[in-house]
Chain A
Amino acid sequence: MIAIIFAVLVFASVLFWIMGKFNNGPQVQELKTRTKSWWIMAAIFTIAALVDPAVSFFAFGFLSFSALRELSSISKNIRTEDRSIIFWAYLAVPIQYYFAYMGWFEPFLVFVPVFMFTWIPFVLVLKGHTKDIARSMSVIPTHLMFTVFSISHLAYFLSLQKLSNFSVGGRGLLLFVVFLTEMNDVFQFTWGKLFGRHKIIKKVSPNKTLEGFIGGLISTIVAAYFLQFLTPFKTYEALGAGLLIACTGFVGDIIVSAIKRDFGLKDTGNAIKGHGGILDRIDSLAISSPFFFYYTYFLYYS
């Protein structure tokens, strides 16, 4: 299985490298950075598979933390008095990932939406700066939802119990959703470049076209068909998962685009110099992973 992943990655890297020789525009650069992040994901995955799964919990936790830090840094909606409150928000990361690591499903499920959604407003109130407090009360927990709660579902795949007739296990599901989400981005982009005419949401993301979206959707469903060996799904369930991932990935993508537009930024940070930030890498995943997680959970694990 690992051999397949690396074969695909080598193929993608070589393809984009050749494309870059002919036309090294910002879009090809974008594809290259995406492949780079896949390499990192693949490396983490391989280390986790060969050494110790705890490594991946740590890696995903760090990803959540970096994304939260980036969002807190670029946000115009956080007041200077909220510094210490942001510290509490960061503390939610190790706790949420500890629950994921231990496989404690109920605490994992309620910690952010029930506990942190109360705790953040509570400590804000204790601080006592009431001017614009309502804005901080809604923005900080929402950041947690988007960067910590959602991404932690990727880690929880590794804690799912073993099914008797499905030997690949949670690792396969994790790989399935990460791969399809990233591929969907590239498919949408490529189809949009080739046939894009009708813009979907011109004001937010001028590159998103209906043709790109439909093309990406169909390609992702086809890819889901071929990757179903990573999942316990029946064929029609795998196709449904492809549809779900394509749609939710698209939603995540345009949400981050809209946020960037609001803050007047093109890229959300500079994780790697000259490239986009971490949020740009995980935008689609932040929405597709919890949706796919519960899709799988309701079908096979509940």
Chain B
Amino acid sequence: MQRIVLFVVYRLIMRPLLRFVLGIKWDGESDFRRYKQFILVANHNSHIDTMALMSSLTLKQLQNTHPVAASTYFGKNKWLGWLSTFFVNTILIERSHEGNGPKALDVLHNHLQKGHSLIYFPEGSRGKPEELQSFHKGIGVLLQQNPELNYIPVWIQGTGKILPKGAHLPVPFEATLTFGKPRQAHASNVDAILDEVKNALLSLKTN
């Protein structure tokens, strides 16, 4: 049921809307079509980012791919939490310094063990358009724990103009999601992995 809903929402409604009305383009997305499990790692400027990334997934991938979001933001009330869990397939986690629920990374690690995929914004929150902020450690730890797992760097250009932080009205502007080739982390310590991922993202920016 949810699978059909997600397919209708993202492939049939959201994608044409994003493409023809907002002016979003997906570049190189076909490379990860055949992958069952992966982490999409992207820079983050706008709520549009999650929508655009979800719209790039296939029917099979949609149900088992979860954007990772902060519960303090999307879990503010039950209604919003349910909406984002059902329609965006979100995993709500608590930022490391807040609350005392289960450790966020354990939750994510469990999902990965089940074979699920993640959409991950290592900057944590939306930053200034086209500027990469410093990364939170989480992505490095996950890739260290799961060295066989493929991650796909995605550079998102221009969505910060469509719907920047604090704005409520999306305004059409051209934006591009550039997908890199799926790859595994080579380094073994967390900081080196973070650098690797960061460079992978930045290398897509210049193209």
Among A62, A73, A87, contact of B158 (Cβ-Cβ < 8 Å): A73
Contact of A69 among B27, B169, B174 (CB under 8 A): B174
- With A and B bound together, what is the CA distance between A124 and B20 in angstroms? 27
Q: Would A87 and B174 count as touching, CB distance under 8 A? A: no
A87-B171 in contact (CB<8A): yes
Q: Establish whether residues A87 and B169, one from each chain, have CB atoms under 8 Å apart when the complex forms.
A: yes
Contact A90 B169 (CB under 8 A): no
Nearest CB in chain B to that of A90: its residue: B172
B25 at the interface (CB under 8 A from A): yes
Residue in contact with B171 in the complex, picked from A74, A83, A269, CB distance below 8 Å: A83
Shortest CB distance B173–A (Å): 5
In the complex, residue of chain A having the shortest beta-carbon distance to the beta carbon of B20: A62
- In this assembly, does A138 line the interface, its C-beta being within 8 Å of a C-beta of chain B? no
| Docked complex: B1-36 residues within 8 A CB-CB of A | 20, 23, 25, 27
- B161 contacts chain A at the CB level, 8 A cutoff: yes
Give the distance in Å from the alpha carbon of A83 to the alpha carbon of B158 in the complex: 13
Q: Does B107 contact A (CB under 8 A)?
A: no
> In whole angstroms, what is the CA distance A83 to B173 when docked?
9
Query: With A83-B161, A83-B167 in contact, do A69 and B25 touch (Cβ < 8 Å)?
Result: no
CB-nearest residue of chain A to B25: A270
Question: Whole-angstrom distance between the alpha carbons of A87 and B27 in the complex?
Answer: 26
- A2 to B161 Cα, complex, angstroms: 43
**B169 & A84 in contact (Cβ 8 Å cutoff):** yes
Residues of B with C-beta under 8 A to A87? 169, 171
> In the complex, what residue of chain B is closest to A66 when comparing beta carbons?
B23
Question: Which residue of chain A has its CB nearest to the CB of B174?
Answer: A73
In the bound assembly, the distance between CA atoms of A70 and B173 in angstroms comes to: 7
Report how many residues on chain B are interfacial, defined by Cβ distance under 8 Å.
Answer: 14
| B27 adjacent to A86 (CB under 8 Å) | no
B171 A73 Cβ-Cβ under 8 A = no
Q: Which residues of B142-177 are within 8 A (CB) of A?
A: 158, 161, 164, 167, 169, 171-174, 176
Residues of A close to B164: CB separation below 8 A:
80, 83
User: Which of the listed residues B23, B158, B171, B176 has the most CB atoms from chain A within 10 Å of its own CB?
Assistant: B171
Range for the number of chain A residues in contact with chain B: 10 to 19
A83 to B163, CA, bound (A): 9
| Total cross-chain contacts (CB, 8 A) | 35
- Distance (whole angstroms) from the CB of A68 to the closest CB of chain B: 9
Contact of A84 with B171 in the complex, beta carbons under 8 Å:
yes
Question: Within the complex, what minimum Cβ distance (angstroms) separates B149 from chain A?
Answer: 29
Contacts of A70 in B (CB 8 A): 23, 174
Residue on B nearest A87 in the bound complex, by CB? B171
Contact of B158 with A86 in the complex, beta carbons under 8 Å = no
A129 to chain B, nearest CB (A): 15
Q: Which of A73, A83, A84 contacts B23 (CB 8 A)?
A: A73
Complex Cα distance A203/B81, Å? 58
Q: Which residues of B have CB within 8 Å of A73?
A: 23, 158, 161, 173-174
The answer to whether the Cβ of A131 comes within 8 Å of any Cβ in the partner chain is: no
Q: How far is the CA of A270 from the CA of B28 in the complex (A)?
A: 14
A273: Cβ under 8 A from any B Cβ: yes
Among A213-268, those with CB < 8 Å from B are none
Min CB–CB distance B21 → chain A (angstroms): 9
- Which residues of the other chain, A, contact B173 by a CB distance below 8 angstroms? 69, 72-73, 86
Most central of B25, B27, B161, B174 by chain A CB within 10 Å: B174
Contact A86 B171 (CB under 8 A): yes
When C-beta atoms are compared, the residue in chain A nearest to B23 turns out to be A69
Scoring A residues 56 to 80 as 1 if CB is less than 8 Å from chain B, else 0, what string do you get? 0000001001100110111000001
Q: From residue A92, how far is it (CB to closest CB) to chain B in Å?
A: 13
Task: Decide yes or no: A69 and B172 within 8 Å by CB, A83-B167, A270-B25, A273-B27 being known contacts.
Answer: yes
Bound together, the chains give a CA A295 to CA B85 distance in angstroms of: 60
Which residues of A have CB within 8 Å of B23?
66, 69-70, 73
Nearest B residue (CB) for A277: B174
Write out the residue numbers on chain B whose beta carbons fall within 8 Å of the beta carbon of A273.
Answer: 25, 27
Q: Which residues of A contact B (CB under 8 A)?
A: 62, 65-66, 69-70, 72-74, 80, 83-84, 86-87, 90, 269-270, 273
> Lowest 3 A-B CB distances belong to which pairs?
A73-B174, A87-B171, A73-B173
16 example contacts (A-B, Cβ-Cβ < 8 A) are as follows: A62-B20, A69-B23, A69-B172, A70-B23, A73-B23, A74-B174, A80-B161, A80-B164, A83-B161, A83-B164, A83-B167, A87-B169, A87-B171, A270-B25, A273-B25, A273-B27
Chain B residues with CB under 8 Å of chain A are: 20, 23, 25, 27, 158, 161, 164, 167, 169, 171-174, 176
